[in-house]
Chains A and B, each alone.
Chain A
């Protein structure tokens, strides 16, 4: 019963997964009535949930949004196959990201709240008076998000493969559960907007916490953490008899310190440039909700750290990662480990947690990408006079297009393509950091300098990523490449942002000297501090003021 790659479908696991899927689907459709909007026919309502989410909802929404199904399979997979540098950097990454957002996200929230910005590109357009720069930010966001959605499907596939789908049989039958799941997801995202993933995130996050706590208790009592570390240490310090190389790193050696640090820092800087993260933040009710969440979201990082260690647990348990197609796939390490060591019903809960973990981010990502399209391509370039109702309609349709695009991506292209684009997406999205984050503090940078800096960095990052290779993969083998003019391997996105900054600074100085028009700033200093009406007044003052207003 414990054979991980048992052929045939495990009925108990399937039943549990289907149960939770039905529960969240009902919740998704019901979400349209949640917090009773007068109508869903605007991007404010459909795309940002009315900017009404408080501390708790925002916590679940952002947690559900940032820790995706792909995270749940890829991080333990990296730990299982390659060790710490590839996998455990996710922990310092998610440690560092929250102090970072504590610093700059409240400013983005405030200016977006005051000016009605729905996307980061809206802000860039208002701040720099440049539709072209906004278009660059929007297109980068959309292009980086698409493969990310596709990877959520890869996460669901790992779950389905563990249950026993796939292998032989027609391609259509093999992928039918995936198609059904995505059609239902598309339908309730269409009808409920951001409220759907916000509601589902409760179920998702509760399940994930439950599963991780049980797994940690199991490892601590039945296996012992010392043993899983010993097993991992043995694996990563024993050279391969043929190549005489170790398969990975147990603890990063000297020459990989910069790789580890830049992966953590670069990923942290990039994370909140992704449109879906910005959407989650802008949906918060107030600036304080954003700050407070920066202090309480690290609970997820702790969960992620233990999840990563399940990759080592799979090493200890000699978990098979042979998929239904008979080929080894490290991404099956975590799901197979659950199926191997737990009874079917609980393995089903774990698989459901991963599967639902795909639905929340996929919904928010598709909403964020369609908001970008609607605001910064459709409205800014094609239909300047689009009404809110028209914007919402376009966004809803685009969210369907985006999702089915991702589905087609996964069904018809090799999975390696999705991984390559995801790697590139991280490098690309990082290049919007300068325009957005520097713009929150200073208007010194020139719009054309930022655009050219962005372009130079995109070109460098793409070429550098393309040229990485390994014995098995000829291109896009790694997110690490030597920092220009050195031998030190660092995260490509970090090298690229350095190039981005240098080009932008030099050209800004030049454009200022020759007085190239800088455009008109639509924001004033005060906008970056604005509070929502509910939080403008200290609570002890509130009753009298409230009385005044109503009386």
Chain B
């Protein structure tokens, strides 16, 4: 990203810079969590504890909408954000 002089650069490479493996793995784990955990119905199919009148089953899943979005966004930053 630094040190290469623009004049010497070849025509714009069509391929983006490779993402380091560690970042790929971390992003992969995050995405796997966001996919698998909301599907484990046995972990949340219960009425109690209620929160603001919402049975656990309902508020837990709505909470996972937010968690999953945050986790996916973190994966986005890991893979794409570095190039900003």
Residues of A within 8 A of B (CB): 84, 88, 91-92, 94-96, 98-100, 102-103, 114, 224-227, 229, 233, 250-254, 257, 260-261, 264-265, 288, 291-292, 294-296, 298-299, 301-302, 305, 309, 526, 529-531, 533, 536-541, 544-545, 548
Contact = CB atoms under 8 A, between A and B. Distances in A.
Contacts of B50: 226, 229
Q: Which 7 pairs across A and B sit closest by C-beta, in order of nearness?
A: A226-B53, A298-B69, A295-B73, A544-B6, A225-B53, A99-B34, A257-B41
Given A91-B65, A95-B65, A99-B75, 12 more contacts: A92-B39, A95-B38, A96-B35, A226-B52, A252-B57, A260-B45, A298-B68, A299-B69, A305-B58, A309-B58, A538-B1, A541-B6
Nearest to A292: B76
B14 to A, nearest CB: 5
Given A102-B31, A302-B66, A536 B12 contact: yes
Given A103-B31, A225-B53, A305 B61 contact: yes
12 contacts: A95-B38, A96-B38, A225-B54, A252-B41, A260-B41, A264-B39, A298-B68, A305-B58, A526-B14, A531-B14, A536-B14, A545-B6
A84 B55 CA distance: 12
Contacts, number: 139
Interface centre among A84, A95, A305 (most CB of B within 10 A): A95
Nearest to B61: A91
B12 A251 contact: no
Interface string B28-54: 000100110011111001110010111
Contacts of B38: 92, 95-96, 264
Contact of A533 (B12, B53, B76, B79): B12
Contacts of A265: 39
A98 B79 contact: no
Q: Chain B: interface secondary structure? A: helix
Contacts of B61: 88, 91-92, 95, 305
Q: Chain A: interface secondary structure? A: helix
A229 B52 CA distance: 11
Nearest to B62: A305
Nearest to A100: B35
Contacts of A102: 31, 72, 75-76
Interface centre among B7, B16, B41, B66 (most CB of A within 10 A): B41
Contacts of A226: 50, 52-54
A503 B23 CA distance: 35
B49 to A, nearest CB: 13
A548 B35 contact: no
B31 A227 contact: no
A536 B73 contact: no
